């Protein structure tokens, strides 16, 4: 009977130790602070709004500008790069993007008239900075 008591004691000690280890492990949600969670939530809410302010061509230029900023270019160098690539706003072979460009073109015509290239460059540079 003495042998069974030793086995049950050692089993209890092991299982008790495992419970303590589990309590010390963090759950996935506990890795992030409240501030980080709020920042992520705000970005998720604001991103669609920001993307709706731009045509698909603008989004491509924003991506190019962000790449230039990652290469440590100055604001003026980025603006020059955007100016050189403004023609990309209108060009797309993808039919899914073509209909969007046509739709945006109609909306822009109603609201502003013809777009000023320098205003477009400034707006894209500000968004991507």
14: pLDDT strictly greater than 60: no
Nearest to 82 by CA among 122, 28, 39: 122
1: pLDDT strictly greater than 80: no
- DSSP for 9-75 reads HHHHHHHHHHHHHHHHSPPGGGGS-HHHHHHHHHHHHHHHHHHHTS-HHHHHHHHHHHHHHHTT--H
Mean pLDDT in residue range 42-46: 74
The overall average pLDDT reported for the chain is 70
Mean pLDDT in residue range 86-90: 76
33: pLDDT strictly greater than 80: no
Confidence band (pLDDT; 50, 70, 90) for 80? very high
25: pLDDT strictly greater than 70: no
pTM of full prediction above 0.85: no
Distances (CA, A) of 42 to 15, 47, 52, 115: 43, 8, 16, 30
Confidence band (pLDDT; 50, 70, 90) for 50? low
Mean pLDDT in residue range 23-46: 69
The residue assigned the tokens 């008239």 is 113
């Amino acid at each position: 009977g003495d042998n069974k008591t030793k086995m049950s004691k050692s089993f209890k000690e092991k299982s008790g130790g495992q419970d303590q280890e589990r309590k010390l492990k963090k759950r996935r949600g506990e890795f992030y602070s409240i501030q980080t969670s709020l920042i992520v939530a705000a970005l998720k809410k604001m991103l669609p709004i920001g993307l709706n302010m731009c045509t698909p061509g603008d989004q491509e230029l924003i991506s190019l500008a962000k790449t230039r900023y990652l290469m440590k270019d100055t604001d003026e160098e980025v603006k020059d790069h955007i100016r050189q690539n403004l023609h990309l706003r209108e060009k797309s072979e993808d039919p899914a993007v073509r209909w969007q460009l046509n739709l945006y073109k109609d909306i822009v015509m109603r609201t502003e008239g013809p777009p000023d290239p320098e205003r477009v460059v400034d707006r894209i540079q500000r968004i991507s900075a």
